[in-house]
Amino acid sequence: MNEIFLLKLGEIVLKGANKKAFENKLCTNVSRRMRPFGAFKVSILQSTVYVEPENETCDLDGAWDACHTIFGAVSICRCRPCEKDLDAIFAAIQAYLGDDLAAAKSFKVESKRSDKRFPLNSIQISQEIGGRLAEAYPEVAVDVHDPDYTVYVEVRDFAAYVHGPAEPGAGGLPTGVGGRAGVLLSGGIDSPVAGYMIAKRGVELEAIHFFSYPYTSERAKEKVLELARRMTRYCGRMTVNVVGFTEIQEAIRDHCPEEYFTIIMRRFMMRIAERIALDHGCGCLVTGENLGQVASQTMEAMAVTHAVVHIPVFHPLIGMDKEEIVRIARRIDTLETSILPYEDCCTVFTPKHPKTKPKLGAVEEVESRLEVEALIERALQNTELVKVRYHG
C-alpha cells in the first residue's frame, strides 16, 4: 500500500458523549462515498479517519476528490505509510515527496508522535529527519519560520506516515447527525447555497420546488434538478418534491389585488413546504431569503410569509452580502447552473408595485377569497418525487 488518506476530524472531537456516534456516522459516510472508486478500508483512530485502498484497481484520484466534500473532516491529506523507523521514514519521504521538496526554495519538517513508545520525541524526529534531508537536498534551504514547503511525519499506533501540506476538508458535521430539513429550492443562486449551509451542520435535505408549467418550462425544472444533483456531492442523495403550482398562481392572479400576488404566493409555498417536510420527517424549513434583497424579503414581508408555518424556518443567508453568497455558490459548483437564464415561478405574474410592508390582517383578508385548503390539497396530489444523486 503506497498511499492512503487521512481525514482529520474537526468539531466532532469536542462533542463529548456524542463523539462515538458522530465518529461512526462519519466512517459510514466515508465508506459510502468511497464505494464508486473501488474497495477501501475505512477506520477511525485518535480523531483521524484512515482511508486505505485495498488493491491496485482503486481510483485514488476520484476518491481523493470526493474526500473534499465529506462533512465532518476539517483537513485531509494524502500520505505514504511506512515502518516506524527513521531509515524507513527518510526513504519514504524521498520516494514520495522528493520531487515537491526538490522544487521548493526552503523547507522544514514537522513531526507528531502519538505513539509514545517511539524512542524519539516529536522535536527529535524533526531534527533527525530535517538534518538528513538538508544533506540530501543541499540546494533547498532549511527555514523553520516561513518555509516554502513543509514535510510532515506522523508516528501513529500502527505505522508512520509522511505527507506534504494538508488540504482543507469540507468542515461541518457528518451528514445525518443533525436530523432532516426541507429546503425550498428555486433555480436561483441563493437557495442551493442555503441548503448547503444547513447540510453542513450534519442535516439531511429534502428539496421542495414549485413549478408552474407552462409559465415555467421543462428546462427550468431540469435546471433545478441539476442544482439538486450538484448539491448531493456534499449532502448525499436527496429527493426533490416538484409541486405543481400553476393552479394556485392562477387563482391568486384571478382573485387577489396585484400588489399581494407575491406575498400570498409565498404563503402558499410555505404552507405546502411545511406539510411535505413533516411528511418526510423534517424538523425545519430552509430558504435562501436575504434581508432587503427584494420586496418580499423585508422584515414585514417575512413576518407575514412565515406566520403560516409552525416549524422553524431557517434562512442561513439572511445577513450575507451577495458576493459572499456567489463565492460559496462558485466553490460548491452550483453557480454555473444557477445563472442559466430560465424563469422561476416567482417571476410569473410579478406585481409592478409589490407591498413591501404588508399587514398580516390585510393579507389574510385578501387570502380568504381563495379556497386555500382545497388548493393546497390538489397541489400536494400534483407533486412529483424525483430522486437525485451525483453523477460525475
Q: Taking CB within 5 to 8 Å according to partner kind, which of Mg ion, ligand ATP, none is near residue 289?
A: ligand ATP
* Closer residue to ligand ATP (CB): 160 or 320: 320
Q: How far is 350 from 353, CA to CA, in rounded Å?
A: 9
Cβ 216 to Mg ion shortest distance, Å: 11
Per partner kind, with CB cut-offs from 5 to 8 A, the member of Mg ion, ligand ATP, none near residue 176 is: none
Half-sphere exposure of 344 (CA within 13 A, CB side): 19
Cβ within 8 Å of residue 202, ≥6 positions away: 71, 72, 172, 173, 174, 175, 176, 177, 178
Kindly state the smallest distance separating residue 270's Cβ from ligand ATP, in Å: 9
CB of 191 to Mg ion, least distance (A): 7
Binding site partner of 153, from ligand ATP, Mg ion, none, Cβ cut-off 5-8 A by kind: none
Cβ atoms of 236 and 204 closer than 8 Å: yes
Nearer to Mg ion, 6 or 286 (CB): 286
Shortest-Cβ-distance residue relative to Mg ion? 188
Minimum separation from the CB atom of position 209 to ligand ATP (A): 4
Minimum distance of Mg ion from residue 390's CB (angstroms)? 23
Give the nearer residue to ligand ATP in terms of CB position, either 89 or 265: 265
From the list ligand ATP, Mg ion, none, partner contacted by residue 334 (C-beta under 5 to 8 A by kind): none
The CA distance from 48 to 163, in Å, is 15
From the list Mg ion, ligand ATP, none, pick the one residue 296 interacts with, judged by a Cβ distance below 5 to 8 Å according to partner type.
ligand ATP
As measured in angstroms, the least distance from the Cβ of 288 to ligand ATP is 2
8 Å CB contact between 96 and 112? no
Query: Residues in the site for ligand ATP, rule: CB under 6 A?
Result: 184-186, 188-191, 208-210, 269, 287-289, 293-294, 296-297, 344-346
| Pairwise CA distance, residues 35 & 37, whole Å | 5
Angstrom CA distances, 48 to 23, 43, 44, 70, 96, stand at: 9, 8, 6, 14, 21
Answer for the pair 238, 207: CB distance below 8 angstroms, yes or no: yes
**Shortest separation between residue 290's beta carbon and ligand ATP, angstroms:** 6
Closer residue to Mg ion in complex, CB, 64/342: 342
Cβ at position 177, least distance to Mg ion in Å: 30
Closest residue to ligand ATP, Cβ-based?
188
Pick between residue 58 and residue 329 the one whose CB is nearest to ligand ATP.
Answer: 329
The residue assigned the cell 399581494 is: 260
Identity of the residue, 177 or 308, whose beta carbon is nearer to ligand ATP in the bound complex: 308
For Mg ion, give the closer residue by CB, 18 or 347: 347
* Contact partner at residue 337 from Mg ion, ligand ATP, none, CB < 5 to 8 Å by partner kind: none
Q: Which residues pair with 7 in a beta bridge?
A: 49, 76
CB of 216 to ligand ATP, least distance (A): 8
Asked if 40 contacts 4 with a C-beta cutoff of 8 angstroms, the reply is: no
Positions that interact with Mg ion (CB under 5 A) = 186, 188, 344
Contact between residue 29 and residue 72 where contact means Cβ atoms under 8 Å apart? yes
- CB-based contacts of 288: which residues, under 8 Å, 6+ apart? 184, 186, 188, 189, 190, 191, 192, 193, 194, 315, 317
Nearer to ligand ATP, 116 or 353 (CB): 353
Q: How far apart are CA 326 and CA 192, in angstroms?
A: 11
66 binds, among ligand ATP, Mg ion, none (CB under 5 to 8 A by kind): none
Pick between residue 185 and residue 252 the one whose CB is nearest to ligand ATP: 185
Which residues make beta-bridge pairs with 242? Answer: 209, 384
Residue 210: contacted member of Mg ion, ligand ATP, none (CB under 5 to 8 Å, by partner type): ligand ATP
Which residues, in sequence order, are CB contacts of 200 under 8 Å at separation 6+?
71, 170, 171, 172, 173, 234
